[in-house]
Structure 1
Amino acid sequence: MVALRIATFNLENFDETPNPTPNEPTLADRIAVMRPQINRLRADVLCLQEVNGQERPGQPRSLIALADLLQGTALAGWNVVSTEKANGEVFDERNLAVVTSLPVVARAQLLNDLVAAPVYQVLTANPPAAHPQPIAIERPILHVELELLGAPLHVIVVHLKSKLPTDIAGQKLDRYTWRDSGAAAEGSFLSSMKRMSQAVEVRRLVDQLLDADADARIVVAGDFNSTADEVPVIAIRGDVEDTGNGALAGRVLVPLENSIPQSARYSLFHHGTGQMLDHLLVTRNLLANYRGTEIHNELLHDESADFATDRKYPESDHAPVVATFEFT
Structure 2
Amino acid sequence: MLRIATFNIENLTFEDRKNNPGVHARQDELRRVLARLRADVLCLQEVHAENLDGHTEDNPKRELGALNELLKTTIYENYHPYWTSLPDHEGVPRAKRNLVILSRFPFDSCSQYRNKWIDKLMYVPVTEKKAEEAEEGEQPNAMISWERPILHATITVDSGKQKHKLHIINLHLKSRLPSKIKGQIDEEQWWLWRSAAGWAEGYFLSSIKRVGQALETRVLLDTIFDDEPDAKVLVCGDLNAEPGEVPIEAICGRVENTGNPALRKRVMIACSEMVPESLRFTHLHHGEGNLLDHILVSKPLLAHLCCVAIHNEGLHDESLPFAVDMKYPESDHAPFVAVFDLSL
Pick the TM interval, shorter chain: over 0.9
Cross-structure match for 1:258: 273
2:128 equivalent to 1:125: yes
Gaps of 5+ in 1: none
2:64 equivalent to 1:63: yes
Alignment TM-score, normalising by the size of structure 1: 0.96
Residues of 2 paired with 1:176 and 1:20: CA distance?
A: 18
The amino acid across from 1:76 in the alignment is: E
The amino acid across from 1:96 in the alignment is: L
* Conservation of the 8 A alpha-carbon contact between 1:117 and 1:197: no
* Conservation of the 8 A alpha-carbon contact between 2:129 and 2:140: no
Cross-structure match for 1:91: 94
The amino acid across from 1:38 in the alignment is: L
Residues of 1 paired with 2:80 and 2:106: CA distance?
A: 8
Question: Counterpart of 2:85 in 1: which secondary structure?
Answer: coil
Deviation at 1:221, TM superposition (A): 0.3
2:183 equivalent to 1:170: yes
Deviation at 1:322, TM superposition (A): 0.3
* Conservation of the 8 A alpha-carbon contact between 2:4 and 2:41: yes
Gaps of 5+ in 2: 56-60
Deviation at 1:27, TM superposition (A): 1.8
Residues of 1 paired with 2:177 and 2:220: CA distance?
A: 26
Cross-structure match for 2:327: 312
**Residue of 311, 317, 328 corresponding to 1:296:** 311
Residues of 2 paired with 1:223 and 1:272: CA distance?
A: 19
The amino acid across from 1:153 in the alignment is: L
Cross-structure match for 2:77: 76
Deviation at 1:137, TM superposition (A): 1.0
Residues of 2 paired with 1:109 and 1:72: CA distance?
A: 29
Cross-structure match for 2:8: 10
Pairs within 5 Å for 1:136-215: 136-149=145-158, 150-173=163-186, 174-215=189-230
The amino acid across from 1:147 in the alignment is: T
Cross-structure match for 1:220: 235
Question: Counterpart of 1:205 in 2: which secondary structure?
Answer: helix
Cross-structure match for 1:107: 110
Residues of 2 paired with 1:160 and 1:25: CA distance?
A: 24
Deviation at 1:126, TM superposition (A): 4.3
Question: Counterpart of 1:157 in 2: which secondary structure?
Answer: strand
Alignment TM-score, normalising by the size of structure 2: 0.92
Question: Counterpart of 1:102 in 2: which secondary structure?
Answer: coil
Cross-structure match for 1:116: 119
1:72-102 C-alpha deviation (Å, 9 max, x unpaired): 1111111000000121210000000100111
Residues of 1 paired with 2:227 and 2:105: CA distance?
A: 22
* Conservation of the 8 A alpha-carbon contact between 1:109 and 1:140: yes
The amino acid across from 1:20 in the alignment is: R
* Identity across the alignment (%): 43
The amino acid across from 1:50 in the alignment is: E
**Residue of 40, 45, 51 corresponding to 1:44:** 40
Deviation at 1:127, TM superposition (A): 3.2
Range moving further from structure 2, 58-67 or 109-118:
58-67
Deviation at 1:151, TM superposition (A): 3.5
Deviation at 1:147, TM superposition (A): 1.4
The amino acid across from 1:180 in the alignment is: S
Alpha-carbon RMSD across the aligned residues, in angstroms, is 1.2
1:94-113 C-alpha deviation (Å, 9 max, x unpaired): 00010011120111111110
Residues of 1 paired with 2:65 and 2:23: CA distance?
A: 11
**Residue of 50, 54, 78 corresponding to 2:50:** 54
1:150-200 C-alpha deviation (Å, 9 max, x unpaired): 332100110000111111000001311100000100111100110111000
1:120-145 C-alpha deviation (Å, 9 max, x unpaired): 10010143575211111111110111
Residues of 2 paired with 1:56 and 1:137: CA distance?
A: 26
Question: Counterpart of 1:152 in 2: which secondary structure?
Answer: strand
Residues of 1 paired with 2:22 and 2:41: CA distance?
A: 27
**Residue of 13, 17, 20 corresponding to 1:20:** 17
Residues of 1 paired with 2:146 and 2:70: CA distance?
A: 29
1:12-53 C-alpha deviation (Å, 9 max, x unpaired): 111011x533x2323211111111100100000000000001
* Conservation of the 8 A alpha-carbon contact between 1:126 and 1:171: no
Question: Counterpart of 1:319 in 2: which secondary structure?
Answer: coil
